[in-house]
A and B are shown apart, each in its own frame.
Chain A
Amino acid sequence: MKKRMRRSIYALMIMLFLPGCEKIVDYYIGFPQQPEITVEADTDQLNVFGVLRPDSIGGFNKSFVFVQRIWPALDFSTFSILPDVEVLIESVGEDGTLTAFPFPLSPPDANFKDTLYRPATGFTPVPGQHFRISCLHSELKDAYGELIFPAVPALTENSLSAAGGRISLSLKADSSIEMYDFYLKNNAGSHFIGRELSLDNEDLPVILYTNQPVEGAKLRIFAYENRLATYIGNSNTSLNFNKYREGFSTLDSGYGVFGALNFLDIDLGPVLK
């Protein structure tokens, strides 16, 4: 009886081990080791990261556009910038008139360290100005977007105080601003110390804490308009595979973002309380 039992266990184990062989299962039994995908993805699209900002260096505005393409997940070949894209920024006047600013592909130089699509001289965005972007490529679908350039952040009168590791201030409500970033700049360098979302039609009280000395330091407040703020906030870059997430886009067509920022520098030295 025990012998028979032992034999049957051996036989069972052999039977079960055989289908364990991956190739047999894949090719003869028909359990493929690749997923059955039922929907085709459209990957002939551009991925744009365009930021307009007000400041310049060497007579050139620091606004830029970085363009790549969307790749099929299993067939990508480069992370480099995509050449041969016609990048055009247009300013839309109140009467609908368009002023074109070409952004040609520009290699690194003394002012800029990356290869980017950048404006020539004469491009100076101002708050409230309406811009459109179009990125055209011969083989990929065109990308379009638009924005309203944000205002310079403004402090509420007498709201700023800084002492020890605490900075307190209030920012005036402005509908063109969606989000603020705060950087403290001192002799030790530049330090990110906080991020706040703006309030609808209300001044925004802000209290920032830092372990950096604030005496004699400068506070730089960046203000992001809606589309750039949403792109930053919508960054589900989580360590997660095979889960649903949408592509990142605040463009009207294509992937990516066309956004803008403005900023305010405050010298913290004289306001110590």
Chain B
Amino acid sequence: MIAGKKLHICLILLIALSLIPFRVFGQRYTVSGYVVDDQTRETLIGATIYHPESGRGTVTDSYGYFRFSGLSPGNHTLILSYMGYDQDSLMVKLVDKSLVISEVYLRQSFHSVDEVSIIAVRPDRAADRQVETSMLELSPKTIQSIPTAGKDVFSAIKFLPGIERTEPFSPLYSVRGGDPGENAVMLDGVMIYNPYHSSINSGIFNTQTIKNVDLLTGGFGAEYGGRNSSVMYITTKDGNSTEMHGEVEPSTFHSKVFLEFPAGKNASAIVAGRYYYDIFSEFIYQSQSYFYDFNLSYTARLSNKHRLSLKYFQSRDRNNIDFSSFYQVFGNTFGIDLYDDFNFRFEDRWKNLAGTIIHKWAMTPRIYMRTQLYYSAHQSENASGVNFQFDFADEATDTLNFNWNTNSIFTNRISDLCAKSFLNILLFRNNNLRIGGELNAYHFQNTAAINDFDQGSLENNSMLYTLFMEDKLELGPLIIRPGVRFTRYNGKDIHYEPRVNAVLNFPHGYSLKLAWGEYYQYVISMNTNEVEMNQAVDYYFPLTTYEPSKSVHYIAGIEKAIGSHSLLSLNAYYKNIERVYTFDINQTANEVLMLSDKLQQGSGDAYGGEIMYRGRIRNWSGWMSYGLAWANRQYPMTGMQKYPYDYNRRHTFKLVGNYTISESLEYNTSFLFMSGTYRSIEQILQNYYYYNPDAEELSFFPIWIPEGKNTAKMPPVMNLDMSIRKKLRQGFGKQIADKFHADESYLTVTIRNLLFFRRNVDYYYPISGIPRWEGKYLPVGTNLFPSIGFSYTIKF
């Protein structure tokens, strides 16, 4: 009953807000259209449109589309600007109706400081993007400027505040104390499941195809749902519709190619691909590990009002590491028979596929519609196993034989067929209503086996229906955007998720931002990191017989624009994780038969603050941030005792800097300092016994056990990486580029892990017998050596 009352209040408020401006304001006209690059015809996201006469402005949305309303009949001049582009003006004459302009062109400025700046700070007012309280943006330029990110989106985002890495060798990430499975990754509106490559621990998206990355780390609007923690929205390029351009980056292990070209009248296409082969594994382990991915894109500008895009994406991974042959060669070489019965292997096989058709329709200057149909599928099979026997009993009859036999196989398939559409209706110049719906048809298949024990399986088809509406209202310095999202999963109860974002702008560039929202999630990720050494994928699992997981976000932030190129922001957040799930994977089939019975419902919270300065000072650009965070969980399996969340880091300092030395030379650096996470460090040694009743053989394996969950803190982590990028003007590299009639060629030298003298501890091994570490845990980290990498890029 209370929920019903809340719903009614929410709806009445929303409808009332959407109607007020109709009554208050009278007849005015609207100008709308796309802002595009004059050379490539690529739409520009976040370009500013300013009307000097009224002092008002707007920016293009994530589709490069703008609508400027409230203009009186007559002649008007609109000033268009975008970072790295020459400012331009647009003259419009409004007589008796609103106007849809097909495209407005901006020309790239050459050699400006803006062009090389890695940060685009646009403290514009009156834009949807500015209503979001916790929104971070990354451009391909920014991603490429982080030396250790290796041009990978998922490595780059870990340099942003509130986003933390999970396991040492996993691409998964945690946002503001949320589970890794609570992050949505959308590629042009398509939900991508497990967008990672296993071989190099990175993302599957080729940065050459990316136009923009928006990351919403909390308090996001009603348009987005299905995940409780964050939304990463990646927009890919449409392609150059005037002439062919491309980029080739050949290397020993990892080659990339990117081509964009006109594909008929008013149409463009992109073909891009990457291939990686791990030669190191081939030689050392005689194991084959590789991946490939490719993107295809076709965009047609059908008319002033209609655009149609077809996009296809596919990736495949095989990561097969068999240490057995390596250790046997090692044993034979040094005459050690210890490894004769040693088998140790990992094998991952992953596949991703996504295809979509998108129709964008500027129905009237005030109404914009986007309709999309997509199919997205992921499949992963991860197996690992160790089998090792050693005979102690020859020496002493009171000691058993040593026997370690462990293995796990997890498989997961998910497919998502989705149809969705939204209408963006400009009710008046200060009131924008967005209303939309979505239908998802899912198919799941999960299996799990640990130590030859079947842990149960699941096959499920389910449907999710979603409707959302949100209304953005501008009342002078106040912008408020209430919204609500209705969801119904598998024919069960309808849930509604009310959300509100508000921005209050003050003089001198200050603004106060607030957000509150409720979030439900029906598809969760099965955690296996208690069993798998390195959980590198989400195993998607439908909550068909359980209530959806639920979080409530409370966020308050202050922003201060410093000049026109810098922004200082301070955010405080509290996330009430009312309902969250974990798998007690240690429960055996003797205890629970179904995989779904291993699910345990718990709760938690996460709170903290983030301060971030981003911008440009002379030739320096970049950002630095400090985060202070707490996150906790409690589950029945740990006696409902509250414990620190696995990936919470109390203090984090992150810095990314770019120094443009000259037009052809730039220097990049990144630095991380992070408090240690809480872990379950082993304090007890208990032998586990294997008994073969037929052969009457008893053997053992030592297992180290922690006393409680996350009762120990790891030491802090520090990382420093640098790179220099030089545009080649002469020499061999330039000559190769000239042979291909390329416009530009670059050489990038990256030095990683400059603080290698201090080991970043990934694991503690309770192993004795090493004199220096007697009575201590042996710290093991991967940053033992610095590395230097070279890459050569040709652009044409």
Identify the A interface with B (CB < 8 A).
Answer: 2, 5, 9, 13, 16-17, 19-22, 25, 31-43, 47, 49, 51, 53, 62, 64, 66, 68, 70-76, 78-81, 107-108, 113-115, 178-179, 181, 183, 185, 190, 192, 195, 197, 220, 222, 226, 229-230, 233-248, 255-256, 261, 263
Contact = CB atoms under 8 A, between A and B. Distances in A.
B688 interface: yes
B392 A79 contact: yes
25 contacts: A16-B755, A33-B715, A34-B779, A35-B676, A37-B683, A38-B713, A47-B687, A74-B775, A76-B685, A76-B702, A108-B397, A190-B695, A192-B692, A197-B590, A220-B694, A233-B453, A233-B591, A236-B530, A238-B531, A239-B406, A241-B682, A242-B681, A242-B763, A245-B706, A246-B705
B168 to A, nearest CB: 10
Contacts of B453: 195, 233
Interface in B362-411: 384, 386, 392-393, 396-400, 404-406, 408
A68 B687 CA distance: 8
A37 B706 CA distance: 10
Contacts of A195: 452-453
A242 B703 CA distance: 12
A243 B754 contact: no
Contact of B681 (A5, A35, A62): A35
B450 A236 contact: yes
A12 B416 CA distance: 50
A78 B715 CA distance: 31
Contacts of A244: 530, 638, 680, 706, 708-710
A72 B684 CA distance: 5
Interface in B576-594: 586-591
A247 B711 CA distance: 16
A39 B708 contact: yes
Given A220-B694, A244-B680, A233 B686 contact: no
Interface in B326-353: none
A241 B764 contact: yes
A246 B588 CA distance: 13
Contacts of A39: 683, 707-708, 711
Contacts of B692: 192
A192 B690 CA distance: 14
A240 B696 CA distance: 29
A235 B759 contact: no
Given A33-B779, A74-B768, A261 B715 contact: no
A192 B693 CA distance: 11
B741 interface: no
Contact of B679 (A81, A181, A242, A245): A242
Contacts of A241: 682, 704, 763-765
B758 A22 contact: yes
Contacts of B277: none
A180 to B, nearest CB: 11
Nearest to A73: B766
B278 interface: no
Given A13-B754, A25-B758, A53 B693 contact: yes
B399 to A, nearest CB: 5
Given A238-B532, A243-B529, A245-B530, 9 more contacts: A35-B713, A37-B711, A39-B711, A64-B698, A72-B685, A78-B399, A236-B531, A240-B531, A243-B680
Nearest to A40: B707
B689 A22 contact: no
For chain B, give the interface size range: 35 or more
A66 B705 contact: no
Given A222-B694, A241-B763, A244-B710, A70 B533 contact: no
Q: Which of A39, A47, A239 is packed against the most chain B CB atoms within 10 Å? A: A239
Contact of B757 (A17, A47, A49, A62): A17
Given A79-B687, A190-B695, A230-B588, A245 B398 contact: no
B720 A16 contact: yes
A238 B533 contact: yes
B464 interface: no
Contact of B400 (A114, A235, A245): A114
Contact of B398 (A37, A115, A226, A236): A115
Contact of B685 (A22, A42, A71, A229): A71
Nearest to B768: A74
A20 to B, nearest CB: 4
A257 to B, nearest CB: 8
B758 A80 contact: no
Given A34-B777, A230-B591, A237-B404, A261 B684 contact: no
B586 A236 contact: yes
Contacts of A239: 384, 386, 406, 533
What's the dominant secondary structure at chain B's contact region? Answer: loop
Contacts of B667: 9
Contacts of B693: 51, 53, 181, 222, 261, 263
B454 to A, nearest CB: 9
B447 to A, nearest CB: 16
B705 A114 contact: no
A135 B384 CA distance: 37
A33 B713 CA distance: 11
A70 B686 contact: yes
Given A20-B755, A237-B405, A239-B386, A74 B763 contact: no
Contact of A114 (B393, B765, B779): B393
Contacts of A75: 768, 775
Nearest to B392: A79
Interface in B641-695: 659, 661, 667, 671, 676, 679-689, 691-695
A70 B775 CA distance: 17
Contacts of A233: 453, 588-591
B105 interface: no
Contacts of A21: 757-758
Contact of A242 (B397, B398, B764): B764
A114 B590 contact: no
Contacts of A255: 686
Contact of B684 (A2, A226, A247): A247
Contacts of A68: 687
A261 B691 CA distance: 11
Contacts of A78: 399
Contacts of A114: 393, 397-398, 400, 698
A107 B397 contact: yes
B396 A80 contact: yes
A169 B646 CA distance: 47
A239 B695 CA distance: 26
Contacts of B704: 73, 241
A248 to B, nearest CB: 6
Given A233-B589, A248-B688, A36 B713 contact: yes
Nearest to B680: A244
Q: Which of B529, B709, B777 is packed against the most chain A CB atoms within 10 Å? A: B777
Contacts of B755: 16-17, 19-20
B398 A81 contact: yes
A234 B716 contact: no
Contacts of A181: 693
B714 interface: yes
Contacts of A5: 659, 661
Contact of B533 (A25, A80, A113, A240): A240
A51 B696 CA distance: 11
B97 interface: no
A36 to B, nearest CB: 4
B412 to A, nearest CB: 18
A238 B406 contact: yes
A105 to B, nearest CB: 9
Contacts of B686: 47, 70, 247-248, 255
B712 interface: yes
Contacts of B768: 74-76
Given A236-B450, A244-B710, A246-B705, A73 B685 contact: yes
Contacts of B405: 237
